[in-house]
Structure 1
Amino acid sequence: MELRHIRYFLAVAEERNVTRAAERLGIGQPPLSQQIHALEDELGVRLFRRTGHGVVLTEAGESFAADAKRILHDTRLAVENAQSAGRGEIGQFNIGFTGSAAFNPVVSKLIRAYRQAYPNVTLTLAEGNTAQLLAYLDDDRVDVAFVRLGSQSPAGVQFHHIAIEPMKIVLPATHRLAKKRKIALSALAEDPFVMLPREASPTLHDVIVGACREAGFEPIAGQQAPQLSSVVNLVAAEFGVSLVPASVCQIQVEGVVYTDVLGSSISIRLALASRIESTPAKTANFLEKALAFASPID
């Protein structure tokens, strides 16, 4: 039995006349009658009973018509779902992000715009450090990941520019320089720096170390933090000072102050990582939105 046989049957059932059904279907009346007889022979029951004005459904025909309508409906739905999936309009989309990326306003705006444009796509979010997220990307556990862009690009991964953020100094509120609006980084040469381990966030770590070296000193390694929010909390506990992306200033913890760097411009780039070898429609749609929200590169 083919779908066309079901369509033929339903056309005759609705028109109650083989000739009118044939005209509606755009085929000849004799071939349509042959197809209906073949369907009845396959089912082993009579589906129609002839009358003086056409045909009516038998009890078996009534039963078959109800199921036939459902089959056609499910078939149309399957086709529509397949087409929607092919356009990236349904399904699940997995987004990874580093702790620092989560505070950047571009990220929340982009995700909100994507959800509004594709409301039938289910989003799942996974937080991790850069190394974890790139591993997730490689294992297909996430489709894209917001990471801090470093100098190296892992094989099979492409990076799309999102934003460049200035870095801010974060100090304990009791620090001798806490009331300064701007501080030269060299003034912190004797302070321990609270940082994430390099293996967890190589880009952020290298930006901090590179900025200190540029200012003429090697940073004193202080307490290591498991994530960026912990950096702020450890600074509040007077374990040392640090440099953080400007968006992290949203973390308002009692006992810390944020201040600008005097005399130099220190920044860090936020990028969206995706796989090179495969770009499903959902990923392509998200990347298209990302390009619209990305800040220009100076």
Structure 2
Amino acid sequence: MADLELRHLRYLIAVAETGSITRAAQRLLLTQPALSRALRALERTVGAPLLVRGSHATTLTATGSELLMDAYDLVERSRLALTRARGTETLTVTAPTCDVLTVAAASRAFEEKHPHVQVDIEPHDWLAPEVLRAGAAHVSILRDSFDRHGLDVEPFAAEPRMVLLSTDHPLGGRDRLTLADLRDETFTYWPGMSDAEAAHWTGADVDGHPRRQSLRIGSATDVIAAVALGRAVVYAHGSTLPEQLPGLRALPVEDLSPSHLEIGTSARNAGPTAKLFVEHMLGWSARPA
């Protein structure tokens, strides 16, 4: 009989938690066909159907539900076994690209206090909650309007946002703007944004007017390029804004909601080291400047 593969068990967990092969593939950073092939391979290994694939949702069969309980246990046991064998524990932390430097400084201080732990920081933006729920990270630094399902989240910091636009923009000569001034502007968006995230990053979370124009981007660099070329504007928090802004201008916006930075762990299986790291980060945020 073929052996079970841990990655296949992680895939089963992702499908069970998202209720969708499409959403599970996004969480796992896989293509949908690749995930479907892997799930069929798992079903062949088990020798029984594990999933009921519907047009709107994917659910587990009775056999799949039984295997799911063991999957959580086996995945966690494998992680602990590797930790004991290596003698050094690796803690994987995801963070938004704009916050990596801050998290790196705090992580170095954590490693000095806990020399048996190595902190591995992975930049992730909109998919960070999915990576955390999938078990591919132990801790995630998260920003603004993300899906909290299956996560334990602690407030970490907050900072005001401003609008970043080209100095050639018709509104670039103003000293201060309102949400109404920017209502019909083109805003950037990331693939996979939820409605709540899109509302926050366009100001619709405050004034209730959905934005009709958007420009798809794939990285923070794309955002700056889109603004510099006059193709879009963006609401940015302070740590996102570059120190030098040639051709760009940041302006305050009345009533714009702030950006909230939070720290999350899995509600199901956060280990003691992850909890220690969360305590460390909360203390780090509260330290004197």
Give the TM-score taking structure 1 as reference length.
Answer: 0.59
Separation in 2 of the partners of 1:282 and 1:267? 30
Report the CA distance shift for 1:142/1:226 in structure 2 as closer, same or farther (over 3 A): same
Whole-Å Cα distance in 2 between the matches of residues 267 and 96 of structure 1?
A: 22
Given that 2:129 and 2:147 are in contact with CA atoms closer than 8 Å, whether structure 1 keeps it comes out as: no
5+ residue gaps, structure 2, are: 1-79
Where does 1:95-244 land on structure 2 (aligned, <5 Å)? 95-102=93-100, 105=102, 107-130=103-126, 132-150=127-145, 152-155=147-150, 157-197=151-191, 199-200=192-193, 204-209=197-202, 211-212=203-204, 214-215=206-207, 217-244=209-236
Give the letter aligned to residue 134 of structure 1: P
Report how far residue 165 of structure 1 moved.
2.0
Alignment partners' CA distance in 1, 2:259 and 2:247: 25
8 Å Cα contact 1:186-1:212 kept in structure 2:
no
Structure 1 portions without partners, runs of 5+:
1-81
Give, as a single letter, the amino acid of the residue that structure 2 aligns with 1:118: H
1:287 maps to amino acid: V
CA contact (8 A) 2:143 2:262 kept: yes
Instruction: Report the residue type matching 1:153 in the other structure.
Output: R
Opposite residue 193 of structure 1, the aligned amino acid is: F
- State whether residues 146 and 197 of structure 2, in contact with CA within 8 Å, keep that contact through their aligned partners in structure 1: no
TM superposition shift of 1:223: 1.4
Identity %: 16
The answer (yes or no) to whether the contact 1:93–1:122 under 8 Å persists in 2 is: yes
Shift of the 214–279 alpha-carbon distance from structure 1 to 2, 3 Å rule, reads closer
1:200 to partner: Cα distance:
3.8
Separation in structure 1 between the aligned mates of residue 96 and residue 194 of structure 2, nearest angstrom = 9
Q: CA deviation at 1:172?
A: 0.9
Deviation at 1:133, TM superposition (A): 2.1
Deviation of the 1:293 alpha carbon: 2.7
Aligned residues: 204
SS in 2 for 1:250: coil
Larger radius of gyration: 1
Cα distance in 2 for partners of 1:292, 1:146 equals 15
Rate the CA distance shift 1:194–1:279 in 2: closer, same or farther, 3 A. Answer: closer
- SS of structure 1 residue aligned to 2:97: coil
The residue matched to 2:241 in structure 1 has which SS?
helix
Rounded to whole Å, the distance in 1 between the matches of 2:268 and 2:184 is 47
Q: Aligned pair in 2 of structure 1 residues 216, 160: CA closer, same or farther (>3 Å)? A: closer
Normalising to structure 2: TM-score of the pair? 0.61
Any idea what the Cα deviations from partners look like across 1:98-117, whole Å, max 9, x if unmatched?
234436x4x34422321332
Distance change in 2, residues 1:200/1:127 (3 Å): farther
- Cα distance in structure 2, aligned partners of 1:213 and 1:97: 23
CA distance in 1, matches of 2:252, 2:223: 17
State the shift of 1:233 in Å: 1.7
Structure 1 letter corresponding to 2:236: V
**Distance change (3 Å), C-alpha of 1:165 and 1:201:** farther
RMSD value, Cα: 2.9
Check the 8 A contact 1:162/1:293 in 2, yes or no: no
